[in-house]
Structure 1
Amino acid sequence: MHSSFMPPRQVKIGDAAAFAGTTPRAIRHYHEIGLLPEPERGSDDRRRYGYEDMIRLLWIRKMADAGIALDDIRDAFTTGTASAGAGSGDGIPGILERLEETLAEQEAELGRQRAAVQRMRTEGSRMGLLSDFVTDRLKSLPEGSLRQADLDTLLVTERIFGPLGAAVQATRFIALATHPALREESDRIDGAEEALDDSVAVDDPRVAHVAAERHAFESALHTVIEETGLEKEDDALFDAWDTLHPLPADDGEDEAGLGSGRREAGSMSAVEAVRKMPYDVSPAQWRCMELALELSVQDSPAT
């Protein structure tokens, strides 16, 4: 049976957008960047889209949905594939090769995000946002034995020294969490150091006194770490890290340090990171740390 229906020869931008599955705003943007040529306008000064316009618009949408950038789509329409060999890096083959690499990177990033979410669900806290190398080190601790301040410190350490540095520092918190007397003494000395605020002069006798207490505490903490076998576990951490992240044969010892080669790729150096991390430390507190370090050096077997 003969139908009296006749398709339109041209449609307005709203109909074009609806058919292509996009929006009039997006089509106008395509015009602005030279991706879709401006069509002729009707007597009402509105754009009119014909068959060829719609074909191009549909291809644009298909390529954009595949993840190809609009600039690359425009270049593909401009150059085509006739002048570009498959290995030349130009035209559509080159665009698709770059897109595949980008998608692989996104897939890897998605895998890391899923792993982080799983760690958070398993750990039930923000500890899951630390790297798995750090969270594995802390798995033996009873639930709730780590304080938020401990996690904050590990977060900063991981940013500066990488997962290995934070995993080694986690040994300190393991010892404190499993030895209540040590934790109590640590809290007392932390409080004494906090009291050395800007109102205390650097040559105040309290500064040297607190420094001596800090040194004595750190010595006691190190003894506990040695006697409980935690120090040997630290050695195993270095071996495990080297197995997971072998260094190139031409890398020297300097590149194997916590602050350089053992950091995650693309991160800042330890020196850069330290300079960018603010700490609210008074002159008296800074002097206290210096004195405690001097006492530690004096007690070192090397001296």
Structure 2
Amino acid sequence: MVKVRTEDLLNQFQLELVAGKDGIHREILMSEISRPGIEMTGYFKYYPKERLQLLGKTELSYYSDLSHAERMDRAEQICTDITPGIVVTRGLDVPEELIEACNASGVPLMRSPYKTTRVISRLTNYLEAKFAPFTALHGVLVDVYGIGVLITGQSGVGKSETALELVKRGHRLVADDSVEIRQEDYDRLIGTAPPLIEHLLEIRGLGIINVMTLFGAGSVRSYKKISMIINLETWDQKRQYDRLGLEENTMKIIDVEVPKLILPVRPGRNIAVIIEVAAMNFRLKRMGVNAAEEFSERLTNMIQQEKSGINVKADLDFD
């Protein structure tokens, strides 16, 4: 389980710590952010105190119009023992009552110079990425023509060797052997490499090589959206493989169905070139060009034309 603490926000976004220094180690448990507008009026029945609180120009303008006693009451109720922190945006002046309440309760009070909408967007994206569903798969992730291709298969089938050939052909390695995958949003899978093996590639008989050192910084990248899966397997003479490309298989990773191709491996097949073509063909399909469907339509039209010709000839012979 990933743990995010308030001090992580201070380091990540260079926020100014105004008060509540004792609570910077508080844990943030969810990605949702609350703007306590209605709470400023005194209604705390449904106050989401476990969320990160954000105060913008609207909230602080209303707060400043309250009496001193009301400001103290609101500040004390906003600052609970489980509130992970309060962020003030636009570099606004922080009321003394709020500073006192945060110091007394140990709730970190932070300030950002940026606009409220921008701060909410950046904080939400950061927290969503941290709390996203996570899994790890055995395989190799490569960026081929802008398409994130996850190469899977049994150990020793040639995944790393194929990735090395792709890197030599100008594509970029993301992860080898183990791919850490996070689901960002409902249909977006982001793959990264574990820090221990980042930029490294294991080639049997050769050992571990550093791809970035050998081929340059342009040969690697830190993360990539997974768009398709290519499973390598040893050629089986008894198995019927798809020859037209009309079949569309998928593999479910977390909650996302990802298109999947099965490539049989045997001597003489250049798997790297086939993966390149598969990536380009995937891009064409997203643009609405499907060669397999075009061939199927041509074949159907030809059959219909031949049937029509036979029917016409039969009618003439009958006459």
Q: Normalising to structure 2: TM-score of the pair?
A: 0.24
Greater per-residue strand proportion: 2
Greater per-residue helix proportion: 1
Larger radius of gyration: 1
Q: Normalising to structure 1: TM-score of the pair?
A: 0.25
